[in-house]
Amino acid sequence: MTIKGFLKREFSALSDGWHAWYLLALHDIKGRYRRSIIGPFWITLTSLLFIGGLGLVYSRLLNLDLKEYLPFLACGIVVWTFILTFINEGASAIINSAHIIKQISMPILTHILRVAFRNTLIFLHSWIILIPLLMWYGYLTWFGLLCSILGIVLVVFALTPFAALLAVICARYRDVLPMVTSAMQLLFFITPVMWHPAQLAGLSEVIRYNPFVYLIDLVREPMLNGLFPAASAGLVLGMGTALWGIALSMLFLNRKHIPYWV
């Protein structure tokens, strides 16, 4: 198969084959909350209670004003949880779809997009609680809300090829999967999720070279300040474009090996 034919086949998952990952993602969500009364809205309720409890405790521990800290924490926690689950589940996307890969020939991107769409839907159930919270504290504007939605699109654009790249590597080397989980736990502590960048005096390089800072900034900055972070958007767009090139190259080089790895 030529590169052109490969790319046409893979990107058909976005055009002709979108119904496959769409229906599989919906099936995953329905299966997760089968026989539940409120279904996926358990995510909303859990996020609300977690953010409220954490905000009350940490605002007192850090001696911060709850009105300023709670919206900052809420945005950070919601977006970080989305990034964390997206990467962890994306890394195991090919492994978890082994039964399909062995029986049906379809683009590998179908399994990655299944994870991307599923996690985006689940994320929106948590993201929606930010709207009344920020309106209550007087932060949110319509322009900020629209910019935040654009930020979410850019985050998904960058995370999808990263998940595809990890999925191929983890399918070949199974030891990488727990390493990814451990690395994400470590990155949580050096990413401004629960603390403000200004509090990390003298360690600005840690923030500057942390790509997750810009992913969170794309969603949090518009909602808190009503401004679109153009610098972060440019970095994430460039990073996502580069990742797409690397991920597609990795898929092309290993397209014949993946069914045997799983």
pLDDT tens per residue across span 226-251: 889 999 999 999 999 999 999 999 99
The pLDDT, as a whole number, for residue 40 is 64
As a whole number of angstroms, the distance between CA 235 and CA 218 comes to 10
pLDDT of residue 203: 66
Q: Considering its fold, how many domains does the chain have in total?
A: 1
pLDDT value at 5 more than 80: yes
Q: State the pLDDT at residue 15.
A: 82
Is 35 part of a structural domain of the chain? no
**Quick one: pLDDT at residue 38?**
63
Q: Where do runs of H (alpha helix) occur along 12-61?
A: 18-32, 41-61
What is the tens place of the pLDDT at every residue in 26-85?
888 888 777 666 666 666 777 778 787 877 887 777 777 878 888 898 899 999 999 999
SS3 at position 104: coil
Cα atoms found within 13 Å of the Cα of residue 178, Cβ hemisphere only? 2
- What is the structure's pLDDT at 41? 67
pTM over 0.75: yes
The yes-or-no verdict on residue 220 having pLDDT over 90 is yes
What size, in residues, is the chain? 262
Tokens coding 232: 């972060």
149: its two tokens: 């939605």
Q: What integer pLDDT is reported at residue 202 of this predicted model? A: 62
Out of 136-140, 165-169, 171-175, 238-242, which region has the weakest mean confidence (pLDDT)? Answer: 136-140
Confidence class for position 130, pLDDT limits 50, 70, 90? confident
Domain presence at residue 219: yes
Q: Is residue 91 part of a domain?
A: yes
Whether residue 61 is contained in a domain is answered as yes
Considering the domain boundaries, does residue 34 fall inside one? Answer: no
The boundaries of the domain holding residue 253 are 3-29+40-261
Cβ partners under 8 Å of residue 100, min gap 6:
106, 111
CB 231 within 8 A of CB 241: no
* 206 belongs to a structural domain: yes
- Which 3 state secondary structure label does DSSP give 254? coil
